[in-house]
Chain A
Amino acid sequence: MFELLGVPPQALFGQVLLGLINGSFYAILSLGLAVIFGLLNIINFTHGAQYMMGAFVAWMALNYLGLNYWAALIVAPIVVGAVGIAIERLLLRRIAHLDHLYGLLLTFGLALIIQGLFRNQYGSSGLPYAIPPQLSGGQNLGFMFLPNYRAWVIVASLVVCLGTWFLIEKTKLGSYLRAATENPTLTQAFGINVPLLVTLTYGFGVALAAFAGVLAAPIYSVNPNMGGDLIIVVFAVVVIGGMGSIMGAIVTGFALGLVEGLTKVFYPEGAATVIFVIMVLVLLVKPAGLFGRQA
């Protein structure tokens, strides 16, 4: 067996793959955070809880309604997105005129409520969710074994990320969104329904989180605590990337997942903290973030 940089290639590529999968989740979640922040000017702390809800809706759909994975991939984002729209209309809108920090506090409270409710109902040990039969098994690539489901997660999240980028940067709807991010008052003066746009944007960002949750369900067990720690890492990703650019969020997400995976190979003790360390370095060198605009 040959070795690569002193590590067996199986382990190396296995961790790279795992890193890319984590990176997919970082990318989708930080993308959602960036889109929401752009228009609503709040950091959505509930994002992690909404990711968790996505996984739970998939689990519930399977166990209570008999809907399979593919249906859940559509249904969960819609359901969680609808809850998000209700949250925006009923709660966030009321504090839109206040300091942005209140938005953070409010969504933090919501995250506690959602996490607590799910923990009461389902405990914190986690529920299994099987890989859909179409995606079980894997490919032997010669240098490593590639499970089909993991390949699917990376492809699906890439498609969703690039689709979102296309939607925002290249379509008419996206141009409204960018205009409203730049100057909501003027955009509204041109006859565009900005409040509706705000609601839909929040719903869309939340739906992205739920989509990531469904993708994650067969890999990690479905657990009420799955979003809480993840969201803090995603915050660090957002600080590193800066929230100015959509593509920046995607690239930073995947890159940091990869770095985390590699750290797991070469220095396992540092894997949990490497993203935070990178955040510290970025703050020292380029405080605005790698893709940030604001000084």
Chain B
Amino acid sequence: MTDLATTEAPAGSIALADTDDSTARLHRNLFIALAALLVVAPFVAYPVFVMKVLCFALFAIAFNLLLGYGGLLSFGHAAYFGMASYVSAYTAKQWGLTPELAILLGTAVAALLGTVFGALAIRRQGIYFAMITLALAQMVYFFSLQTPRFTGGEDGIQAVPRGKFLGLFSLADDRALYWLVAAIFLCGVLMIYRIIHSPFGQVCKAIRDNEPRAISLGYRANRYKLMVFVLSATFAGLAGATKAIVFQLASLTDVYWTMSGEVVLMTLVGGLGTVFGPIVGAAVIVAMQNYLASLGSWVLVVQGVIFVACVLLFREGIVGVIAKWIRKPL
């Protein structure tokens, strides 16, 4: 099966070749380097900034799982990110849940939402799929806007307590919280890496490249699509729920369509369909937003320009270009 999925990939698509030994070793080394970077990062950079990068990187990786490996462009991933963020913030603040439980609950709600929306969206394909996911996400946005008792309306849920991890270790200090966020991030990345390289991931790629053929080989394409959609929504939720604890805030920005656009941009900049691309893309975009924060709406313009430039000139993204250069999938 795996051979079919990869050798038949159309030229120019960024199909991940079968991971041979040298590629596997390279990836392992890169993960070790990533872990080392995570250990060093809070000592050289502002921890809250690094945590923001990690949350968005996880979000982008989750999105990339769906688009890069499932071939499905969701324009409504803010719904899962934002809803998980609300649930985690609400339960931590109003119910007094410990952070890990709040995050888990937020993630679970995102998974549930992903199941419902995914089942609806996969009924149409291509461009319609993108429009449906966008419209469903906008529905979540209006829901959030109109239920201020739950979401705090325009103000959002502010001053969410970071609480004590497992009820024992206080996370009030940025450094302490950082290790939890870094652990969540690393677990998320490794799990998605495992999913991509599992037989399930190979079938998803086969469906992405040629759906009728995959169906004729006996795979129930819709079940795989739904599954990869739910997984993607779940990890997006994990990222959103963690973000709410880090910034102690869940707001309408998290469920708005601009957020859905941002995650597409991060993935595109880093490299669509690459393992490490979304991490790089998230770091670049978050850093850019920080740098340009004082310029107001120019951020929007700059993001738009990057979007256009990426689509016209730089479709492989940063990591995609490097991968082509060293001739190994990254």
Known contacts A109-B305, A116-B298, A239 near B131 by CB under 8 Å: yes
Q: List the one stretch of B89-97, B118-126, B241-249, B273-281 in contact with chain A.
A: B118-126
B307 contact from A108, A115, A117, A287, Cβ within 8 A: A108
CA A25 – CA B17 in complex, angstroms? 48
Q: Which chain B positions have C-beta within 8 A of A233?
A: 135, 138
Contacts of A200 in B (CB 8 A): none
Residues in A whose Cβ lies below 8 Å from that of B268: 105
Once A112-B261, A112-B301 are accepted as A-B contacts, the answer to whether A236 and B135 lie under 8 Å apart by CB is yes
In the docked arrangement, what's the CA distance between A112 and B265, Å? 12
B278–chain A nearest beta-carbon distance, Å? 15
- Interface pair A283/B300, CB less than 8 Å apart: no
Chain A contacts for B315, CB-based, 8 A: 98, 102
B48 within 8 A of A: no
Please indicate the chain B residues that have their CB under 8 angstroms from the CB of A269 in the complex. Answer: 146
When the two chains form their complex, are residues B305 and A104 in contact, meaning their CB atoms are under 8 A apart? Answer: no
Taking a contact as CB atoms under 8 Å apart, the answer to whether B127 and A91 are in contact is: no
* Contact-residue size bin, chain A (C-beta under 8 Å from the other chain): 35 or more
Task: Tell me if A119 and B131 are in contact (CB < 8 A).
Answer: no
A214 CB, min distance to chain B CBs, angstroms: 24
| B311/A273 in contact, CB under 8 A | no
Q: Assuming the A-B contacts A43-B127, A116-B304, are A283 and B257 also in contact, with contact meaning beta carbons closer than 8 angstroms in the complex?
A: no
**A279 part of interface (Cβ distance < 8 Å):** yes
Q: Chain B nearest CB: distance from A181 CB in Å?
A: 15
- Bound complex: CA A269 to CA B296 (Å): 32
Bound complex: CA of A116 vs CA of B300, how far in Å?
A: 5
Contact of B130 among A43, A114, A280 (CB under 8 A): A43
Contacts of A272 in B (CB 8 A): 142, 145-146
Please indicate the chain B residues that have their CB under 8 angstroms from the CB of A3 in the complex. Answer: none
User: Are B301 and A235 in contact (CB-based, < 8 A)?
Assistant: no
Range, interface on chain B: 35 or more
Complex interface: chain A residues within 8 A of B4 (CB): none
CA of A110 to CA of B132, assembled, Å? 21
Q: Which residues of A contact B310 (CB under 8 A)?
A: 105, 109
Q: Tell me if A293 is interfacial: C-beta within 8 Å of chain B.
A: no
Within 8 A of A (CB), among B291-330: 296-301, 303-308, 310-312, 315
Given contacts A101-B127, A102-B311, contact A110 B135 (CB under 8 A): no
Confirm or deny: A67 has a beta carbon within 8 angstroms of a beta carbon on chain B. no
How far is the CB of A285 from the nearest CB of chain B, in Å?
A: 10
Task: Say whether A120 faces chain B, with CB atoms less than 8 Å apart.
Answer: yes
Partner of B124, one of A94, A112, A273, A283: A283
List 25 A-B residue pairs with CB atoms under 8 Å apart, sorted by A's residue number.
A43-B131, A98-B315, A100-B127, A101-B126, A102-B311, A104-B75, A105-B264, A106-B308, A109-B303, A109-B304, A110-B304, A112-B304, A115-B300, A116-B301, A116-B304, A119-B297, A119-B300, A229-B138, A232-B135, A239-B128, A239-B132, A273-B142, A276-B138, A279-B135, A284-B120
Interface residues of B (CB under 8 A from A): 73, 75, 120, 123-124, 126-128, 130-132, 134-136, 138-139, 142-143, 145-146, 257, 261, 264, 268, 296-301, 303-308, 310-312, 315
